[in-house]
Amino acid sequence: MLGKIQPSLRDLGLSSRPPGNKLPGYYHGALRDKGWIRGIEGDFNASALNNRVFTLATALQSRIISTLNMNKAPIHVAVTGAAGAIGYSILFRIASGEVFGPDQPIILHLVDIEPALPVLQGVILELEDVASPVLKGLVATADMNEGFRNISWALLIGSVPRKPGMERKDLLAINGKIFTGQGQAIAKNAAKDVRILVVGNPCNTNCLIGMNNSDLPHDRWFAMTRLDENRAVAQLAKKSGADATAISNLAIWGNHSPTMYPDFYNAKIGGKPVTEVITDENWLKTEFVTTVAQRGTAVMNARKASSAASAANAAIDTVKSIITPTKAGDWHSVCVESDGSYGIEKGLICSFPMRSDGKKLEIVQGLKIHPFSQEKINGTVAELQGEKAIATELGMLSK
């Protein structure tokens, strides 16, 4: 029988993984010492290092987290394109508590189009089968008002993929319409604190369209270049032999497209400038930039499907880096509305080096831009300006 149970595992000083082989005693000891369990001595005999006890300890861990959830109000999180490939990867990680914390109850809104609803039913069955301690409700719908009601986060992933022979303008004409409607529906239905991450391509301009068709403050709108950042980090780690965690200050500038620019001149490996560690500057300017730019195509050619798990992972990294204070001196890539920093046209949704204090994001100021970088940034910004012109021509940017 369980007695008084209140705190989180972190409060107990417990990691989810007990150190060494002190499995049962580890949970039991800490819980008993703090007086948070009583009357289960028989089952928690610390000398009985056997599976039965560990299973019970693990069950207790879930139970504690589950009980804790009652203290916080649930947040509603919408994922569009929930029946798609990225949706299938991201939903289970959100449901695990990884993104918003193990003590934050979540109500997931799965939004997709009508024909995808039967598939969504299967996703719901599997989400139920996770028996997640944080997942407190599921809404599956093709109705945007219902889909965005009370949400604090919208991950706008759903969109129509580019087909062979389709121009960027054709894609914008189709997907822009989706984001016009979604921007309006989010503004009408979401919670006051709502924040929106656009993943569906062309994500920068879709974000611009959504933002311009809603009355929400513009600093709530983000688009995703974190996958490009992660790809760049992986390439630098591979080339230098350093661990991925040693790579810092890697910003993507511009558009999420092959024109994006991974700014290796301002990035660091183990605290040193990248160009001091990887002295082959020609490799950095050519092969490195091209590999990152063409990575999506490489995945597509090999998998015969576009990046999904790594894209879901990048979306999770993006949300976490928005809601968590950035490590001192570091930054991450997020596309936000340009305020004119670095001479980039005001109002474009552009990827910048960004820092967060856990609540608000800011563009990192004062970075020295190498002439090679400047040329690349000019190119990718010109592409964003072109997309904005098309969206304007299609009537998607006038309120």
* Smallest gap from residue 141 Cβ to ligand NAX (A): 10
Question: What's the sign of the alpha-carbon dihedral 335, 340, 341, 343?
Answer: positive
Closest approach, Cβ 227 to ligand NAX, in A, equals: 4
Amino acid letter at 394?
Answer: L
Q: Say which residues have a Cβ less than 8 Å from residue 192's Cβ, sequence separation at least 6.
A: none
Q: Does 350 bind ligand NAX (CB under 6 A)?
A: no
Give min distance, CB of 312 to ligand NAX, in A: 8
Minimum distance from residue 270 beta carbon to ligand NAX (Å)? 27
- 23 versus 171: smaller Cβ distance to ligand NAX: 171
Is residue 67 part of the contact set for ligand NAX (CB under 6 A)? Answer: no
Number of residues this chain uses to bind ligand NAX (CB under 6 A): 28
Choose the binding region for ligand NAX from 152-160, 257-265, 274-282, 354-362 (rule: CB under 6 A): 152-160
Cα(318)–Cα(322) distance, integer angstroms:
6
Distances (CA, A) of 14 to 18, 27, 111, 377: 7, 7, 36, 46
Q: For residue 81, state whether it binds ligand NAX (rule: CB under 6 A).
A: yes
How far apart are alpha carbons 135 and 96 in whole angstroms?
A: 8
When asked if residue 262 is in the footprint of ligand NAX (CB under 6 A), the reply is no
Both tokens of residue 72? 């916080």
Q: Helix/strand/coil (H, E, C) string of 17-54? A: CCCCCCHHHHHHHHHHHCCCCCCCCCCCCCCCCCHHHH
Distance of CA 35 to the CA centre of its chain: 38
- 139 near ligand NAX, judged by CB under 6 A: no
Q: Which of residues 302-331 bind ligand NAX (CB under 6 A)?
A: 306-308, 311
Work out whether 349 is an interface residue with ligand NAX (CB under 6 A). no
Binding mask 205-224 toward ligand NAX (x if CB under 6 A, else -) reads: -------------------x
Stretch that binds ligand NAX, among 54-62, 158-166, 316-324, 361-369 (CB under 6 A): 158-166
User: Can residue 161 be called a binding residue for ligand NAX (CB under 6 A)?
Assistant: yes
**Interacting residue with ligand NAX among 46, 85, 234, 394 (CB under 6 A):** 85
Contact with ligand NAX (CB under 6 A) among 23, 53, 68, 86: 86
Residue among 75, 134, 199, 377 that touches ligand NAX (CB under 6 A): 199
Sign, Cα dihedral of 83, 88, 93, 96? positive
Tokens of 322: 């928005």
State which of residues 103, 112, 229, 317 lies at the interface with ligand NAX (CB under 6 A): 112
- What's the rounded Cα separation, in Å, for the pair 327 and 356? 9
CA gap 264, 248 in Å, rounded: 10
Q: 15 to 54, contacts with ligand NAX by CB under 6 A?
A: none
Cβ nearer to ligand NAX, comparing 18 with 81: 81
260 vs 223: CA distance, rounded Å: 13
What is d(CA 217, CA 349) in angstroms, rounded to the nearest whole number? Answer: 14
Nearest to 203 by CA among 180, 164, 172: 172
Least gap, CB of 195 to ligand NAX (angstroms): 16
- Among candidate residues 28, 109, 256, 332, the one labeled active-site is 256
Question: 372, exposed or middle or buried, with CB in 10 Å at 0-12, 13-18, 19+?
Answer: middle
What would the two tokens of residue 140 be?
């599956």
Per the annotation, the verdict on 109 as an active-site residue is no
* C-beta closer to ligand NAX: residue 183 or 200: 200
- By the rule CB under 6 A, 258 interacts with ligand NAX: no
- Residues within the interface to ligand NAX (CB under 6 A): 80-81, 83-87, 111-113, 116, 157-161, 178, 199-201, 203, 224, 227, 256, 306-308, 311
As annotated, the active-site residues are 256
